[in-house]
Structure 1
Amino acid sequence: MQKPIEKNVYFYKTVADPTFKLFEDNEQIRLYKIFSTVFYKGCITYVYNEENSTHRFEIISFDDSHIFGIYSKEEQSPNPLMQFRIRTTNETESIIPEGDPDKVLEYYTFFLVNFEKGLAATIYNKQASSIDKILQSYFFASNCNMSMIPYCMDNVKEAIKSFKRVSDISYTYNSNIASHEFKTMSELRNFDMEVESLKIKLKISRAGSRLLEDIIKHPSNKFTSFKIKGFSDDAAQQCFDTIKKSFMRTTKIIIGDEPKNNLQAIKNTLLLEISRIVNN
């Protein structure tokens, strides 16, 4: 039995921008129709080439409530210092066999768009982390305008209250004040240098009863970012930036050596995470 592992889930507000092709006032219907226009052949794999990179959208399920699929990006320059090894014999073989131009190495991740909620969720993979930009570009190339904006919680107070426990706080001073704050650090202020950015990270061993209230009241004009990391009531790790209003959760999801064997579980997890965000 495969054990659940923790993966970051990123959320995006997804909007079908009005165009001459779409006159629907209902946002859910408009979003469904614009995805139907771009992925008009249904559940197949769509290839998109941009700036010498090849991207693919493999649509797994698609109806008027959601679209679920896999986004993949070809690795243009696979690391030559990687290989497969057979443990029992110690024999090795190349990751991509020589003389086989039809085989390519890809990094991929899963994504789901809930049309009713106007939200997309994707499992973070550093090597395939630009799905929002690539998907928007693919729509634009198909003469459709669709926006994916990192999910924000405008009500800072409500967002902070969603934390049951805070474990980390990290903040970055803006460029106007970074140098001044650096010079107040006695251990470093005599160093012969100037700084244009200063980031502080605090690991919290104990959080008092007033901490969340203190964060809410703290002035924000000094910072370009002020991130709180911790845990929610359902024990999920989450991160909220009080300046950018961006919100991210880490969830436990079953992804083993063959993630595609757990498609339904992954889909259900992404649907559940969107529901939790909306009802937070």
Structure 2
Amino acid sequence: MNSLTRRRLLRKRYQRRSNRLSWILVALLGLAALGSVGVAGAVGTVYYVYNSYARDYVPIDEKLAQTNLGLTEIYDRGGPESGVLLGKLTNLDAQLLAPVTLDHISQNMVNATVSTEDNSFWDHPGINIRGILRAAYENYVGGGIGSGTGGSSITQQLIKNVYICPSVSDEKTRCTSAERTVDRKLREIAYAIELERDYSKEQILEWYLNQISYADRYIGVEAAAQGYFHKSAADLTLAEAAMLSGIPAYPTLYHPRLNCLKDGTESCIIDADGRTTITGPAKQRQ
């Protein structure tokens, strides 16, 4: 099955929305994005600009397949023939990656991630309009790019990680807040809308949870669950999920091991094998 056929089969039922409504949405989002990076744009050019970026969109499964070609597989003592695949390492960054399907991720983790990162994820078309408008206002009153909170949806964050500044890319500087350019923000918006037209929310969230960094070079929730708690992502408790879901945005504040060192046994315990067990106040985080 070629990519075009696959994309057509995976399009969701709300894809056939009004052209007029789509244009208005794109225009509003484009203006909001331009405002969020402190640049004024002409209203009449927004739709044209959107299409110019959307034309470059490549199906995400193709991008992920290209990325996976650069990964080194890590097995236990049985090796590739009879052993267990422990994960994958990116050749450039030596980051551990262990992708799993959404049904192998705890519902606690799913709920905590959506609540923390994008609580309107299940309802929006790829862009959190309120989040973008809030970020635009905060950047405006704050005096410049990066002075406010982010307004990116889960879908936009996935786009950024896969298309704009992937972890295996040599251009890591493009991931910094200083590089929040008009070009990057508009590309995020266009690609996010295209992605949501092609795939279900569940598939997008699965990709996100497998692509996001959880510090300590753990890429994806399975690698993080194994690395921090010595368990599968399917078995994460509410407290563990709450802690992990905060790491992408606040890697120091919610880092399990740093929190243990800071709070001692009142919050969690690190055993001789490096496994983290949450025992106290961290259980209350949500």
Q: Which TM-score tier does this pair reach, normalised by the shorter chain? A: under 0.3
Larger helix proportion of the pair: 2
Query: Which protein has the larger Cα radius of gyration, Structure 1 or Structure 2?
Result: 1
Structure with bigger strand share is: 1
TM-score normalised by L of structure 1: 0.21
